[in-house]
Amino acid sequence: MEIQITSLKRCELVSLSGEIDATTAPEVEQALVQLVEAGKRNLVLSFRDVTYISSAGIRALSATQIQARRRVPPVEIALSDLSPEVKRTLQLVGLDHLFRFYEQAVEVVGSF
């Protein structure tokens, strides 16, 4: 698992790669929570190089979204570049109701 954070004008682009499983999910959650607690307003999570996400990864995303929505003002988190398999997994557990999904990071970066 690799996490790369790029600060852009209106958002933080978080590029994830590898598998998000029980071993790596805490690392992902910690990185995202740090951004939320630092007061970053908009986060774009790029899943371009994510090959798998487990229930632990889903829990990490959900927990981060809950914390983000509790902030005043709330932090917006969007997901992009999802492979069909990862997207289907996230939709099956209902995360498409918690996050906005975009085909490419460029689309969501432009929406902020």
> Which tens digit of pLDDT belongs to each residue from 1-54?
899 999 998 999 999 999 999 999 999 999 999 999 999 999 999 999 999 999
- Say what the pTM is: 0.92
- The pair of three-digit structure tokens given for residue 20, joined into one six-digit string: 């998000």
Give the angle 41-47-50 at the CA atoms, nearest 5°.
140
pLDDT over 70 percentage in the chain: 100
Q: Which CATH architecture has domain 2-111?
A: 2-Layer Sandwich (3.30)
pLDDT over 90 percentage in the chain: 89
What is the Cα 109 distance to its own chain's centre? 13
- The pair of three-digit structure tokens given for residue 9, joined into one six-digit string: 């004008």
Place of tokens 């709330």: 74
* Three-class DSSP category at 36: helix
Half-sphere exposure of 58 (CA within 13 A, CB side): 16
Domain ranges (residues) in the chain: 2-111
Digit-coded pLDDT (tens) for 44-83? 999 999 999 999 999 999 999 999 999 989 999 999 999 9
Separation of alpha carbons 84 and 42, rounded Å: 24
